[in-house]
Structure formats: C-alpha cells, structure tokens
Structure 1
Amino acid sequence: MPLSEHEQRLLEQMERALSADDPKFASAMKGSRHGRAARRRLLIGIAAVVVGLVLLIIGASTSQIWLGAGGFIVMLAGTIWAFSPARGTTGAAAGQPPTAGAPRPPRTGKPRRSGSFMERLEQRWDRRRGQW
C-alpha cells in the first residue's frame, strides 16, 4: 500500500530533521552503493567457492589431480574475493581495523595515566569511597 502525499511529506521532513541532527547516523542508515557492491562481491565469492568445491569433488572422484587442484584454487580465490574490500576502500572505511603494519593515528583526549592496572583501580575505589 503506497503512502499518501501527507505521509510522504512527513517522512521527508523526518529524514531532513534526522540528517540535520545526526548526519553521520543518517548517512550510515542510507542504502549506499558500497553496500550493494560488497553484497555482490560476497555472492560472487560464494558462487566461486561452490564451483570450486564441485570441481574439487569431480577431480577427486575421477582421479584427475589437476582438476582437484584447480577446484581448490577456485575455492581459495572465491574466498579471498568475497572477503576483501573493493578497490578504492580502505580498511577503516570498510569498517575493518587497520592492518598491523599501519601507523596508529595520534591519540587525542586524556593523557595516559601512570601506574599499574591494580593501582589505578585502587585509586578509583578510594575516590568513590571519599565521595560518599
């Protein structure tokens, strides 16, 4: 059942208000081209894994080692294809943690406190007890 004109206007007003209040959340909730591309990559990768598995089974059942090895390579390539980010996206943009060799961005906010973990917990406990 389609929305009436009044309901469509209300929906557009709510979308504009959301975009004005929290643009980061609004952009995350919008359907993006990146999401469709990632879904398509995943589906192609799954199809390649299935084709590779079929080739592997056929190669093993007919004792043709080259066909089984090719099936394994197709499965491996499909897995890599499905879980690797598309060109032009970085790990941070794709929602993945940065790689181990990448330099960390500088820390912002509170400076790191000295002392061991237990010492800091004891200090926090003492501060809380002093407030009551």
Structure 2
Amino acid sequence: MLREIEQSLLADDPKFGSTVAGDHVFGGDGAPGITLRGLAIAVVGLVMLVGGVALAQQSLWFIALSVVGFLVMFGAGVWMLRGGGASSADRIIKRRPGRERSNDPSSMASKMEENFRRRFEER
C-alpha cells in the first residue's frame, strides 16, 4: 500500500521524485530488510539479556551476560538495517510486485484503501 502511495506521489510530481529518488527507495531489491538469520540472532541476544537479568542475583558475572546480550541484539538490528547480505529467499519482508488485490469488500485493507482514495478525490 505504501509503495502505491509512493508511486502515485512520484507520478504527480516528477520533479519532487527526481530529488528524493535514490537507493533508499522503500522495498527495493537491494533494500535492507528483516531476515530469518538476523531475527534468530536478535532472539539469541534477547535470551542472553533476559537470562542475565534473571540470574544476576546468583553472580555478578551474569550482568556481563545481559550486557553482551544487549550488544548482540543491537548488532543484529544494525546488521539487518544495513542489509545483512540476505538472499531473496531469506527475506521475511520482501517486495511482492505480483500480489493480487483482494476484492472482498469486507476486508480491512480494501476499506482503508477506499477511504484513502475518497480523501484524495475530495481534495
């Protein structure tokens, strides 16, 4: 839905599109995204963080474990934002150009899309 909005804005104002278009376009092939590998690393970091906090009363070394867990989570997030070397098969959030639109009038997405179009037609 956001991609369609972006395309319509670029079609309406090509001068604006030429100034903001670049490698950072939402949903491009080389764009960063959430990967299964990055998500798994973030979950491991979360487990280390929670485990370190839960076991901090046993020994102060577990505080170091929680700090390392936080750094692992942070690193996984940065890695995913920078691309992470993910293949197209590994992506959870990826571009789907051939996605069919739902013609079901009761679906939430179609209602939101209809309301959006109605607002633009009123202006």
Name the TM-score, length of structure 2 as normaliser: 0.35
More helix by share: 1
TM-score by length of 1: 0.33
Say which one has the larger Rg: 1
* Greater relative CO, 1 or 2 (CA 8 Å, sep 6+): 2
